[in-house]
Structure 1
Amino acid sequence: MIRLKRIYDPASPDDGFRILVDRLWPRGISKQRAAIDLWARDIAPSNELRTWFHHEAANWDEFVVRYHAELALLPDVVASMRQQCAGRTVTLHYGAKDEIHNQAAVLKPILESEDPAGDDA
């Protein structure tokens, strides 16, 4: 099971394996408080895509398309992340305020998919 959660929310035992899927460490949160098991920078959107998106809901549909394209170029990274998630509870953490329009929301169905490209999600 893969869950989504803001990094600023308190850690919980229900989170299971905690993965941060942001390229940058979130402002104002210590590594101790974050209690992250894995910081998966490589699977996060590129700096260019992150800057372009700027967490604007109006850019969401195009962000999803562009992020999928970036992930398609990283099949080994996606496969490794799927292995990290297999058979356990995982919580993908993100720093964005928007709980709907963020990279973790795009990544979750890809990681849950059995299709290497994530197209069956």
Structure 2
Amino acid sequence: MGKSQGSSAGIFAIKRIYEDPSDDDGCRVLVDRLWPRGVSKERAQLELWLKEVAPSPPLRKEFAHMQERFADFRAAYEAELETNPAVQTLHGLAAEHGKVTLLFGARDPETNHARVLLEFLQG
């Protein structure tokens, strides 16, 4: 189950897209640049696919989900998020819906961009 955190502008949580949707997900937003394998659009039950908030392709390739590169990846991705207008889109959705669940496809629930994004949004 994904972690959630409250703020005055709503709650953010993260969840693997391969987990079943639930009523308490709120607004479901896919935050991967690539569509996850084996997941139909119907099963995903997305409100939005926000590719723009994902790490840039060069950063994603450099990280390659390698644990030893995660600290450098986190710093570089947070720098990208500082100037990314898609972050405001997520804050707007949280204000509108009360809760936004950030969906990701990565296998590792801790070492991935959605975790960095969640912590960035919680600020």
CA distance in 2, matches of 1:97, 1:80: 26
Shift of 1:73: 2.8
Inter-partner Cα distance in structure 1 for 2:44 and 2:67: 26
Residues 82, 112 of structure 1: 8 Å contact kept: no
Match of 1:103 among 113, 116, 122: 113
Which runs of 5 or more residues in structure 1 are unaligned?
Answer: 114-121
Instruction: Please list every run of at least 4 consecutive aligned residues from structure 1 whose deviation after the TM superposition is greater than 2 angstroms.
Output: none
Which of 72, 83, 89 is the matching residue for 1:80?
Answer: 89
Aligned length: 112
What RMSD in Å do the two structures reach over aligned CA positions?
A: 1.2
Matched-pair contact (CA < 8 Å) for 1:21–1:93: yes
Q: Give the share of equivalent positions with the same residue, in percent.
A: 44
- Equivalence for 1:92: 102
TM-score between both structures, scaled by the size of structure 2: 0.85
- The 1-side partners of 2:89 and 2:42 are apart by 25
TM-score relative to the length of structure 1: 0.86
Consecutive unaligned residues of structure 2, counting only runs of 5 or more, are: 1-10
